[in-house]
Amino acid sequence: MPLADQQVRSRLVRVLALLAALATIPLWAPPDHATTSDGVFMVAAASPPGVVPVRLTSLVLVVLLGGLTLWRGRRVVALYAVPALALSWVWWQTEGGGSYTVALTGSDAPHAFTSPWFAVSVASTLLVALTWTLALLGIVPLIRRQMPRDGPSSGRTA
């Protein structure tokens, strides 16, 4: 692979790692409850068992791997498979990252885009996509290196 392509991929990986670390911000402490300006009281749906510790451990891993990726580059991005799997499970268990119920103490429920859980849901979905992208950017080259090459220099005979 030409040196220019390697530099572009290395920059891409670093940018994606930084974006993944930034996407963790709304997920550290998702909202528990909120009241809209017109008095609608919204409460977070109860998290299924195990979601909170898996989410927190995954967020720590994403931030640590982000720092490691900025320092070491593409050599470590295959490790993103671990938080990618865990965050996918969290995303599935929390119905897309965050869900809430509306208590009928006000008028109509707010539009989904104005919900305080919207940022959590978007960040969770984005983080799952970013971690899987980074994991694949690291795993695919590892697989390619392990595959035998067909050709005269491979030492294989027909």
Q: Can you give the pLDDT of all 158 residues of the chain as single tens digits? A: 566 677 777 888 999 999 999 999 988 887 776 666 666 666 766 778 888 899 999 999 999 999 999 888 778 899 999 999 999 999 998 877 666 555 545 555 555 556 677 788 889 999 999 999 999 999 988 888 788 777 555 555 54
pTM: 0.77
DSSP helix, strand, coil percent of the chain (3-state; round to 5): 65, 5, 30
d(CA 43, CA 48): 15
Nearest Cα neighbor of 9 from 113, 124, 134, 108 is 134
Range of the domain at 67: 3-113
150 domain-assigned: no
- Do the beta carbons of residue 84 and residue 128 sit within 8 Å? yes
89 domain-assigned: yes
67 domain-assigned: yes
3-state secondary structure of 90: helix
102 domain-assigned: yes
153 domain-assigned: no
Q: How many domains does the chain have?
A: 1
> Phi, psi at residue 35, to the nearest 5°?
-120, 125
94 domain-assigned: yes
